[in-house]
A and B are shown apart, each in its own frame.
Chain A
Amino acid sequence: MSVQSGMAEGVARTGAGDPEYADEKRQERLENEKEVQEKKAKKHGSNLEIKDEYTPVTYDEQYILMVNALKKYFPIKGGVVSKTVGWVKAVDGVTFNLRRGTTMGLVGESGCGKTTTGRAILRLSGEKSGGQVLFNGQEVYDLSAKEMRSLRTKMQIIFQDPFSSLSPRMPVGEIIGEAVREHGLVPKEEFNDYIDEIMDHCGLQPFHKDRYPHEFSGGQRQRICIARALALNPEFVVCDEPVSALDVSIQAQIINLLKELQEQFKLTYLFISHDLSVVEHISDVVGVMYLGNLVEYGSTADIFRNPLHPYTEALFSAIPVPDPNARMNRIVLEGSIPSPANPPSGCKFHTRCAKCTKRCMEEAPVQREVEPGHFVVCHLYDE
């Protein structure tokens, strides 16, 4: 405090002694500050600006969901006034189309943006940073809050951890029925029967309705989560690692249940998982993500028989096979996934890729269709 007041006095004294000189000084100082600020703005501007370039897609009847160059960045706050100093590029240009009544598996390492993609499609994590999400031809992010609310019944999510995604204070019937009542989907007098029916579909007994989540095992809880999502009669369900927290034998039950329900209600799933064998079993189409990008995308048979992208190859070679004499031609990836806040230039995979060329380091590859329905983002497959 004393230092500051001393300085202020000093300025005041010189100012009093020579007014012109003080003015000049002040002018000079102001100019300097301006320059610095301009420089700062220039420096950060290039970093902070989000490039939102894409060719808009036109709606095609057969696709329930069309995702085009979807971007979701999270700000990194820094400095005294917590300005945005950078972006974590969680989802950085993801493009795919999802046919009605099919399942798309989304695989990749943890931190590659699988879950964020799922949430961004459902508009669950604030505004998007770029791109398009067309649900039945309707841009999800253009809707008003009221319209969004009515659309919510059509798109649902099953969360990863059945232990933390159920309210411990609510009986199961209430957990499943809350949204049904909120949206007024069924008349009051039919409400109880409706909940019983949904629970029956998901393999739960009617007397479970008055119990609380802690009375159930992991598999049963996951059934409750599924019932909660299905109670709204959705068309599209995002399954965010629904079986990762479960035992092998319980896993099989839940996967079978999901498949049965899909046939029964004509559901479309986006199945997010890092367990490749589960994804192969349940999906029709598989997308492989790496560091916010969809690096390969095609039908399950194509992807598993003929993986094209070096990352997909490495990923698939790492799957442990339950056969003690199986010969392993494992491609072990060195290092770990780079930070999405500061991704490598060019192709994001080039730091760990065995087939990296000079071009990969400089130029980012674009998605191209190698065989019908099989897309890959890699320079190796350029003509």
Chain B
Amino acid sequence: MFAFTVARRYLFSNPSQTALLIVGVALGVTAFVFITALIQGLALRLTDDVTANSAHVSLEPVTRVARVLPSPDADVESVAIVSTFQRRQIRAWAPTVDLLRSQPSVSAISPQISGSAFLVKGEAVAPVAVTAIDPAGLDAISPISTEIVSGDANLGADGILIGVRLAENLGLSAGQPVLFRTDRGVDRLLIVRGIFQTGLQSLDERVAYLSIETARPLFLLPEGVTNIEVKLVDPARARDVAAFLADATGLRATSWQEKNANLEGALVAQAQTGTLIQIFSLISVLIGIASALSLSANRRRGEIGIMRAFGVSKRFIGGVFVLQGLLIGVVGAGIGCISGYALCAWLATLSKPDGTMALPIAPAEGGYVTVFALTTLGAVLASVIPARSAAGLDPLEAIQQ
């Protein structure tokens, strides 16, 4: 393709100008990659922080409302009242667990009995949110066993795990007994097997874990569970998976995004800000390409005029400038992607004194394919204006100047 040869020679004819142009494009692409990796990294970190110790999808029974029962006597209406606790039960939970196990998007399942209780130690009383689980799946949703700072994670038949703040408030230590009183009015003495420290105040101060079998008589729930917590391979898909599970099971399925609507709103706003910055950096790159090629077209008016006089087609001349744009776009975007990745990878190695990353950057999430495609396409589009201007030159005017 001769137009490609001409385009390449034109670019090489002024190496310093071409190099500056490519550096400009590469810098724009690097900025794009950096912003994308930073925003994605921040979103991932926030998502991780939120979802690391909680489920991605929660399945619960659909809340039923009291309904008016028909009566043969038209003057009398009866309201059906069902035990509040009964309403929250998933009686046939095993088929639901089987269905969840068959889903490749699901990485962990935890059928649970959740409820409220009090821990009583002498005169000290503390309310706790109880999570009763299968001891084998203790870490399915929240990695508790790795956070044990005292005792162990072996629940047994009469064990309970509590957070470090709760233990401090009640003056409890591992191995000590504590009175457990449920909101159903059932008491039992349990042994504090382990004390965990997740760093999340809500967990460390308010949550207690025990075995689901231990919890059944305490919460008067001999068969069912109150909720099934699910972890996904890709937390970002939680909303879709929740919709599917709601349809498939008839249960109420809540994604972690729904539970954290404020966080999602913040992430969307952050992504929109990032998009604006990306658009402006791309626009500046494209304006640079368009102006540089326009200058080139103007500088080569004489040559273009001669080409037109010799009957070289407008398409050929336009093609030479579009191909220059394409070459600049491809090379600049390629270098920008590499330098952007290198910058992000270096920044990812920087850490604060506590060992956490200095910047929540995700080098792999730099949007490389997107920015490469957009820059290349944009460079071609930016070159259309100088290409049309060059192709439309009047040969006589151009030669005589």
Do A and B originate from a single complex? no
- A-binding residues in B (CB < 8 A): none
